Structure 1
């Protein structure tokens, strides 16, 4: 046999082995996803998003997904704090995170199923109720609640609003601490003049617990960092078959998903974060 033919034969054999190993790895990855239940990774005390009692809107979305897949719903509970993905999705105790920001490399994102923005929350009778940007002069010298380290804090610093701001912790175990509710309680007690929260947290909390407050999506800011984000579901890296199945499910049931979000009070914006699509009153 000519040397070149022998070399080609060896190369073909190596390619075959490579393809076989790749196929085996894909099969093993696919096998990690349970076929007998929808196993969801969730925080047990993260109202308004998820709770062990099933009262969050992410619980309702999980129930919808399970219904469409014709599978029973099971949860793997862990606080949405440091180690959440490592101790749930990566530990293979569950196969799906219901809400994860698009572009987050820790997980494989599905197509996004809604976009939302940070919001300014003030009392309905406040002189701040018509404010739409953090550069508004009316905010000068006001005491504003802000979750430390979140994108709006950069806008507040740029506009000189940080010296009087009241900061709340970002990463907490919601079983023991609730910064968003603490912030809104302080606003209700007039200890602060305004609050800034991620819309999918602030909107539902206001709707369910603080009816005398108004939610203003911050979609008019022109400078970075952006204050809107597209939200996806998250699966393990490499689980493309599972991702495609969820993408199809989202596409076919988008109207029902939207109805759950709107009913909960989540402010929805367009994909560019320039227009409010729906905000529950």
Structure 2
């Protein structure tokens, strides 16, 4: 008897990527009866269900007004659901926490520890959102602000030929599984030196301690990182459907033990490096223009 996908489905097995290899093996070795059942039971994916109870998390937050109390209750409700994700072993709620997205999605100010898993939605599209500060010495802050405005760009999208991305960095990502495609390379180039929108900023002021003028930038990895995030979510969703279909889609994960998990982790490191370079070029070009 030839084994087909229909055969496995009729026997109660859930379709997935594993079907192809299992069917080929079963037919090649002419498995039947108990031997076939034992083989299929051994190779079918193990379904990982969410925790019945939320994993423990620390509550470093308190409310002092009715509005704050409502916020805290929403944060705790979403954390209670989030911490049922089967990869999570612990977590914390920071004082500035507030909910975002549906119940069960990690809130702003939420921190979790995951075992052997990378959750793209938990680093979000704004990968490596960060700040950098440079002290420029005793110079006029207005002059610095004018210089900064002349070299960087705020708003959606990128700008062509704003600055040249270092060739050695481009060489690193050209061979990367996630970042070597033309769209990623274009975003890395055209968003280099830009700051985006939302709560991103470039601040100029004087230090109370030294009197020196400082520049502070706040942004993440721009479209370059957002493009990686979209790819990561697609990969994570594939694993979720196959191995943990009861887990919420926003909490899907990529297993680090898989080759693609290690590849995604490496891509995150390149995005982190790009973000640091982006801060640096804005600071360096601002200083050069003063």
TM-score class, shorter-chain normalisation, is under 0.3
* CA radius of gyration, larger in: 2
Greater fraction helix: 2
Greater fraction strand: 1
TM-score, normalisation: structure 1: 0.28
Higher relative contact order (CA 8 A, sep 6+): 1
TM-score, normalisation: structure 2: 0.27
